[in-house]
């Protein structure tokens, strides 16, 4: 049977070798709008990795459309750089398109040299906190022409197709939505008028570029009072009439309170929106969002949900995903875990895109030369950092031995993957373990490294990735039998009663609280059974799926929860705390733990204690470094590098990147 993922398809007259499309994503790798060596190297790796069609951008259509970290398409001076990027992608064997966009009210004056952003109407943006200036009719006509001119530059540069972004809360969707379009002229009011701007852009681009035209639209904006599925399906039909060659289905605005790309979103969760639109048009439809493995992609295409799949962050995590899938080597895939730490959180810090799962992402332009001499390298610790270090050292040509004291590789990735909706971190542990096996790295499980073993192995270099241990607080009563460490809870070594107090409002504390709350709700399989058979009203099913019979409260000394979550993840976790009825107390100090519960006082030290009743107390107050071998290595004159929590408690992202660097730097 032929593989639907690797059957050819057509976008207008453009012939494509497979149905894997890499959608345009902002990488913050351009320099003053110009294409850079770093940008070319990034896309060269994805083209060589086997993707059939690669999108770049978004690219600016005028000076208010983007900022200098975006690719420029608003002036002829950018054509040579665009041409170099197109040639780079073509050399790797893929076809290429540029996505054109205007941010509208989502741009920020600090990114535009102080110029006020523009929009259909002067409706404040919750994303930026700024109020845009309303466009005049003359400026609207000029903007349509700017899209067309940018499309012409893209065609001149040699790209195979053009994409227009008409969703996500940017300018075209701002015209389309009654939330942001309050105009009373021909560009606002009725749906026909609100669609006018987007359709005029499409007609102008189609006429000017003479390239196949893809349009990326929302299947649902998930904005209360916004556009919604039905209107967007109508818009899709009008786009087809206007001459669009294909539709790529996106979800949500940046302001929407619907999780879209985080790990808790099930794989392929939003493909139903692509199917809704595919049922109404004759042109190809591309499904996207949280499609990070070939099997999900095959099912969606094979079952007729879409014609092709957009795999963006999946190809950041593993550029070789298409090649591996094509030859049945999927065991060697590195799956995107949808953490958002390197690809989204970095952008909020005005940094370039990187990746937790793939430390080479964003650094493709940096040459990696094999070590001049092959050394015996011992890696102690089989967590994320240790496995990353072992793989990196092996790639440098060293003889690597990896020792892990437990019976399996994974370390704290297993902890990270324990809470509901975080299972992808456990998948990453498996992915790295499979790579370790394929790299023929000698792996010794259930092995404790000590002085005797160091003398036996005689390594030339040691990488210490021994991780950390949970902090044991100096709180009276913390040794009582109903007090357990969060790590033991997440590893299913401990259980909890009905009333639970979690001490510590960081990532581990929140994940522990959510695990406990969701444990006592209606399981997904049961929920579907009851829903399909209409056993209960949907509101009652929602209550059963979110209302726990546990009373869970998080206590935290500082004034906020989730301080060590990235921006991409934190808001969804806080949303879940509210949804599952988990209470919290901030700016309080735990003075002691008793058999009845936890004694609290104000963090300012008011002196008045208060009892917070609890059957079980969970300790989630942090991690301490576990590094007993550094002094031994120094005594034996063995060069060593300490990474991850063994060096300083941090995030999985830090451990993976530190491990990769440590392996590379062994000369």
**Number of residues assigned to the chain:** 667
Average pLDDT, the chain: 95
pLDDT at 113 over 90: no
State the Cα–Cα distance between residues 462 and 275, nearest whole angstrom. Answer: 53
**Where along the chain do the CATH 3.40.50.720 domains lie?**
376-460+644-664
pLDDT at 570 over 70: yes
235-239, Cβ contacts within 8 angstroms, sequence gap of 24 or more: 235/166, 235/176, 235/195, 235/198, 236/277, 236/280, 236/281, 237/280, 237/281, 238/195, 238/199, 239/166, 239/198, 239/199, 239/202, 239/215
Q: Report the pLDDT value the prediction gives residue 565, as an integer from 0 to 100.
A: 87
**Tokens linked to 7:** 């059957």
pLDDT digits (tens, 9 = 90+) for 133-165: 999 999 999 999 999 999 999 999 999 999 999
Q: Report the pLDDT value the prediction gives residue 589, as an integer from 0 to 100.
A: 92
Q: Which fold has domain 472-621?
A: FAD/NAD(P)-binding domain (3.50.50)
Task: Express as a percent the part of the chain with pLDDT over 70.
Answer: 99
**Where along the chain do the CATH 3.20.20.70 domains lie?**
4-348
**Domain at 376-460+644-664: CATH architecture:** 3-Layer(aba) Sandwich (3.40)
Q: Report the pLDDT value the prediction gives residue 224, as an integer from 0 to 100.
A: 94
For the domain spanning 4-348, the CATH number is 3.20.20.70
* 3-class DSSP assignment, residue 41: helix
Question: Predicted confidence band at 245 (pLDDT cuts at 50, 70, 90)?
Answer: very high
Q: Report the pLDDT value the prediction gives residue 350, as an integer from 0 to 100.
A: 85
Helix and strand totals (H; E) in the chain: 22, 28
Average pLDDT over residues 240-253: 97
pLDDT digits (tens, 9 = 90+) for 330-339: 999 999 999 9
Region at 311 (left for phi over 0; alpha for psi -120 to 50; beta for the rest): beta
Region at 476 (left for phi over 0; alpha for psi -120 to 50; beta for the rest): beta
pLDDT digits (tens, 9 = 90+) for 342-393: 998 888 888 999 999 999 999 999 988 888 899 999 999 999 999 999 999 9
- Give bridge partners of residue 553 from the DSSP assignment: 501, 583
pLDDT at 187 over 70: yes
pLDDT digits (tens, 9 = 90+) for 571-629: 889 999 999 999 999 999 999 999 999 999 976 666 688 999 999 999 999 999 999 99
**Where along the chain do the CATH 3.50.50.60 domains lie?**
472-621
Question: Predicted confidence band at 106 (pLDDT cuts at 50, 70, 90)?
Answer: very high
State phi, psi for 648 to the nearest 5 degrees. Answer: -165, 125
pLDDT digits (tens, 9 = 90+) for 190-237: 999 999 999 999 999 999 998 999 999 999 999 999 999 999 999 999
Q: What is the pTM of this model?
A: 0.95
pLDDT at 112 over 90: no
């Amino acid at each position: 049977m032929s593989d639907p993922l690797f059957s050819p398809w057509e976008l207008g007259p453009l012939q494509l070798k497979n149905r894997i499309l890499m959608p345009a994503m902002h990488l913050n790798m351009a320099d003053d709008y110009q294409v850079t060596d770093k940008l070319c190297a990034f896309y060269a790796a994805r083209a060589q990795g086997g993707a059939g069609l690669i999108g770049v951008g978004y690219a600016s259509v005028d000076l208010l459309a983007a900022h200098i970290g975006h690719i420029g398409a608003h002036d002829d001076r950018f054509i040579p750089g665009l041409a170099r990027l197109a040639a780079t992608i073509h050399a790797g064997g893929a076809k290429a398109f540029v996505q054109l966009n205007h941010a509208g009210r989502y741009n920020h004056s600090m990114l535009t040299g102080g110029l006020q952003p523009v929009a259909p109407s002067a409706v404040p943006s919750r994303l930026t906190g700024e109020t845009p200036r309303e466009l005049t009719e003359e400026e609207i006509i000029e903007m349509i022409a700017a899209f067309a001119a940018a499309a012409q530059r893209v065609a001149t540069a040699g790209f195979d197709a053009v994409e227009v972004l008409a969703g996500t809360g940017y300018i075209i969707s701002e015209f389309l939505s009654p939330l942001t379009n309050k105009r009373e002229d021909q560009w606002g009011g009725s749906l026909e008028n609100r669609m006018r701007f987007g359709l005029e852009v499409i007609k102008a681009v189609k006429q000017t570029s003479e390239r196949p035209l893809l349009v990326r639209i929302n299947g649902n904006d998930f904005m209360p009072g916004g556009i919604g599925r039905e209107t967007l399906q109508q818009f899709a039909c009008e786009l087809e009439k206007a001459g669009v060659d294909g539709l790529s289905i996106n979800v949500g605005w940046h302001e929407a309170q619907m999780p879209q790309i985080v790990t808790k979103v099930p794989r392929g969760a939003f493909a139903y929106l692509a199917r809704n639109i595919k049922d109404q048009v004759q042109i190809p439809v591309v499904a996207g969002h949280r499609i990070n493995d070939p099997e999900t992609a095959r099912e969606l295409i094979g079952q007729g949900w879409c014609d092709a799949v957009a795999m963006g962050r999946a190809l950041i995590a593993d550029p070789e995903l298409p090649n591996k899938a094509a030859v049945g080597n999927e065991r060697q895939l590195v799956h995107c875990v949808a953490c958002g730490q390197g690809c989204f959180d970095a952008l909020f810090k005005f940094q370039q895109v990187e990746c937790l799962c793939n430390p080479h992402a964003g650094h493709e332009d940096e040459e990696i030369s094999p070590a001049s001499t092959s050394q015996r390298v011992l890696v102690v610790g089989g967590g994320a950092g240790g496995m990353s270090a072992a793989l990196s050292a092996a790639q440098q040509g060293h003889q690597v031995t990896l020792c892990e004291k437990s019976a399996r590789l994974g370390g704290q990735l297993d902890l990270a993957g324990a809470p509901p909706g975080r299972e992808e971190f456990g998948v990453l542990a498996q992915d790295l373990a499979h790579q370790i096996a394929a790299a023929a790295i000698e792996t010794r499980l259930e092995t404790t490294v000590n002085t005797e073993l160091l003398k036996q192995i005689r390594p030339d270099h040691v990488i210490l990735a021994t991780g950390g241990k949970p902090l044991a607080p100096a709180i009276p009563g913390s040794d009582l039998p109903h007090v357990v460490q969060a790590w033991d809870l997440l590893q299913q070594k401990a259980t909890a009663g009905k009333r639970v107090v979690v001490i510590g409002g960081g990532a581990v504390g929140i994940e522990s609280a959510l695990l406990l709350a969701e444990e006592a709700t209606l399981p997904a399989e049961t929920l579907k059974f009851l829903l399909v058979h209409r056993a209960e009203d949907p509101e009652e099913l929602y209550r059963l799926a979110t209302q726990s019979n546990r009373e869970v409260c998080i206590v935290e000394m500082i004034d906020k929860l989730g301080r060590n979550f990235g921006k991409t993840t934190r808001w969804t976790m806080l949303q879940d705390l509210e949804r599952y009825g988990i209470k919290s107390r901030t700016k309080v100090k735990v003075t002691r733990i008793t058999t009845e519960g936890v004694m609290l006082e104000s963090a300012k030290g008011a002196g008045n204690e208060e009892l917070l009743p609890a059957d079980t107390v969970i300790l989630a107050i942090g991690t301490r470094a576990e590094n007993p071998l550094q002094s031994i290595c120094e005594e034996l004159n063995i060069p060593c590098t300490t990474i991850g929590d063994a060096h300083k408690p941090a995030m999985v992202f830090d451990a993976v990147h530190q491990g990769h660097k440590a392996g590379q730097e062994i000369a």
